[in-house]
Structure 1
Amino acid sequence: MRVGVVGCGAILPQYLQTFAGLTSVQLVAVADLEPARAEAVTADLRGVRALTVDDLLADDEVDVVLNLTVPAAHAEVSLRAMAAGKHVYTEKPFTSTTEQATQVLDAARAAGVLVGCAPDTVLGTGVQTARKAVDDGLVGAPVFATATMLTPGHERWHPNPDFYYVPGGGPLMDMGPYYVTTLVTLLGPVASVVGAGSRTRGLRTIGTGPREGEQVPVSTDSHVTAVLVHESGVLSTLVMSFDGVATRAPNIEVHGELGSLVLPDPNYFDGDVELCTLAERDAGWQVLPVSAGYRGAGRGYGLADMAVTPAGQQHRANEELGFHVLDVMESVLASTASGASVPMRSTAARPAPVPLGDLA
């Protein structure tokens, strides 16, 4: 697939590094609302053109649009790309709302194009090794899981953190996709959720860059706790916070009747998976050998996986999974407002497992 990127922000360099090692995708064009940013990207990339957004969407040399815009623009750019006959792969979240996501799904079916959605970190050896352990019965029947993401706030390092603190942002919508996607990959889709949220202060102070010292207003919850009831009956406890200082809690734990797993940070593709079994509890935690997933994966592997998946088969970082993850997060926020349990309006099949191997 020949790739055109819309949005030349902070995440793009990670995709560029990945594309340099892949043969299934080829970057041919980039565009940004600020033309100088697109031109700066192409300065060191032979054969890659800097275009306007309109010109990129109309370019016959572009097969798929990689949508790296801010979340509020995901739906608009994806819809425009599909109207131009392009496949689409978008950064997380899929869109800002499930209403927008429904429009994107309908448009994709009408246009007959493929749609993919980050995060693709679940395709790496970390989450896939853990999934194989669960599927192979190393923990027995899963009972519950915990997922914890805690940081003092992105304003400490991000020069323009405003979008993290408005509706559509916050710790759940920003970092939740990594954790919820991992939980669905491991334990299956979610049937209902109940959540609660809070915010500790109304202003955040930017800690770096040209706006250092400027204060950003907060209009969304900066701490969210939820319980996800999976269709299988497994319960996952989710803690997403921009209000904590530090934690010793593992990013994700899965507990079953026969054992417990500790996973690496789902924001990354690899890392150790540790197992402690009931039968060998005195031996403590043991690191499992890497047994599944794409070796050496990086951001963009979801797009490459979409490119190599045979026709008629569902690629792994697909639109149904992206929609379901968004539905889970939106429902959690609805529950924080109402105090009631919220049933899911969607479901999604667990993506196909990734055998241990190289996509590059």
Structure 2
Amino acid sequence: MRIGIIGCGVISRQYLASFDELPDVQLVAVADLDPARAEAAAEGREGVRVLSVDELLADPEVDTVLNLTIPAAHADVDLRAIAGGKNVYSEKPFAVTTEEGAGVLAAAQKAGVLTGSAPDTVLGTGTQTARVAIDVGEIGTPIAAVATMVTPGHERWHPQPDFYYVPGGGPLLDMGPYYIHSLVTLLGPIAEVIGAGSRLRTERTIGSGPREGEIIPVTTETHVTGVLVHESGALTTLIMSFDGVATSAHPIEVHGTTGTLAVPDPNRFDGDVEVKRLGGEDWETLPVAGGYQGVARGIGLQDMAVRGEALRASGELGQHVLEVMNAVLESARNGTRVEVASTVARPEAVELQDVRVTA
């Protein structure tokens, strides 16, 4: 599958670092509104051409557009790529509004092309080993989960953090996809939500880079909490914050009738999965039992290349998670329980395998 990247900002470095390890994926072109960033992305990469955005979208040598633009541009770039007959794989979130995301899926279905959505971290051994543990009954019947992400905010380290603090950003739409993609992988789709949110600061100060010291406005919620009601009946408590300092909680805990599972950071591909069994005294680290081993961002493209319509990090999953997040924000604004109209199949588990095994 021949890939063209649109958007060569900070996150592109992580994708660029992994392309050489993906046997069924080839990077052929890059584009950015800032030509210098595109040139830097292509430097030292034989056969990778630097194009304008329009040129890349029209290029017959590009099968799939990897959309690494800012969230506000995700849907527009995807729609333009689809109109040119190309598959799309978008960074998270899949779009900003639920309506935008639905439009991308409808256009892709009509055009007969594939849609994929980050994060693909859920395909690694961390989330997938936890998936195996749940499926084989290590904790009995799952009844609840808690997902917690607390950080003082990305403006402390990101040189261009503006998009984190406008609609489409905030802790929920920025970091929530990692946690909710993992939760859907573990516990299945979500039927309804209850949410609350706050925005205690109207400004943030950039802490690094050429704009260090510059003040930027905050126009979205920076602390969001909610309850996600899974179709299975399990309840997830979600805490996403750019306002706190730190947390000692496990990133995700899944509570079952006979045990509790500690799931590693879903922003990583690996990490220990631990279980505390009913009547047991200590946490036990489970052996790695599922997932792609030794991978980085981009494995979702490999999965897309070899599995086609059966890809796991699908646009349908990205859209369901987007709707869930926007429903939480709607509930926070209106003080009401909100139903989630879409559903999605629980993604197929990933058998434990090396990235070079294309199956």
2:303 is aligned with 1:292: no
Structure-2 residue corresponding to 1:345 = 341
SS in 1 for 2:352: coil
Shift of 1:167: 1.1
Paired AA for residue 297 in structure 2: R
Alignment of 1:128-277 (within 5 A): 128-277=128-277
Instruction: Render the CA deviation track for 1:72-105: whole Å, top value 9, x for unaligned.
Output: 0000100000100111111000011111111101
Q: Cα offset for 1:9? A: 0.6
Task: Give the distance between the partners of 1:158 and 1:95, measured in 2 at CA.
Answer: 21
| Residues in 1 aligned to 2:21 and 2:211: alpha-carbon distance in whole angstroms | 36
Match of 1:127 in 2: 127
1:256-305 Cα deviation digits (max 9, x unpaired): 000001011000000000011114x12x1010000000001210111110
The secondary structure found in structure 1 opposite 2:45 is coil
- Structure 1 CA distance for aligned equivalents of residues 85 and 53 of structure 2: 15
d(CA) in 2 for partners of 1:154, 1:13: 17
Preserved CA contact (<8 Å) 2:21 2:355: no
Q: Distance in 1 between matches of 2:50 and 2:348?
A: 36
| Secondary structure at the counterpart of residue 260 of structure 1 | strand
Query: Alpha-carbon deviations, 1:303-352, whole Å to 9, x = none?
Result: 1101001x5x5210011111100000000000000001000010011110
**Partners in 1 of 2:298 and 2:149 — Cα distance?**
23
Would you identify which runs of 4 or more consecutive aligned residues in structure 1 move more than 3 Å?
none
Which residue of structure 1 lines up, in the alignment, with residue 80 of structure 2? 80
Supply the AA of the counterpart residue of 2:342: S
Counterpart secondary structure, 1:325:
helix
Amino-acid identity (%)? 65
- 2:301 is aligned, of 287, 303, 310, to 303
SS in 1 for 2:21: coil
Please, which of 345, 348, 355 is the counterpart of residue 351 of structure 2? 355
Q: Secondary structure at the match of 1:276?
A: strand
Q: 1:6-30 deviations in whole A, cap 9, x for unaligned?
A: 0001011111111111111000000
Alignment partner of 1:97 is 2:97: yes
* Alpha-carbon distance in structure 2 between the residues aligned to 1:35 and 1:17: 20
Residues in 1 aligned to 2:288 and 2:240: alpha-carbon distance in whole angstroms: 28
Secondary structure of 1:103's aligned partner: helix
Q: Which residue of 2 aligns with 1:318?
A: 314
1:3-152 aligned at under 5 Å gives the runs 3-152=3-152
Structure 2 length normalisation: TM-score?
0.98
Paired residue for 1:327?
Answer: 323
Unaligned runs of 5+ in 1: none
Supply the AA of the counterpart residue of 1:154.
H
- CA deviation after TM superposition for structure 1 residue 172, in Å: 0.2
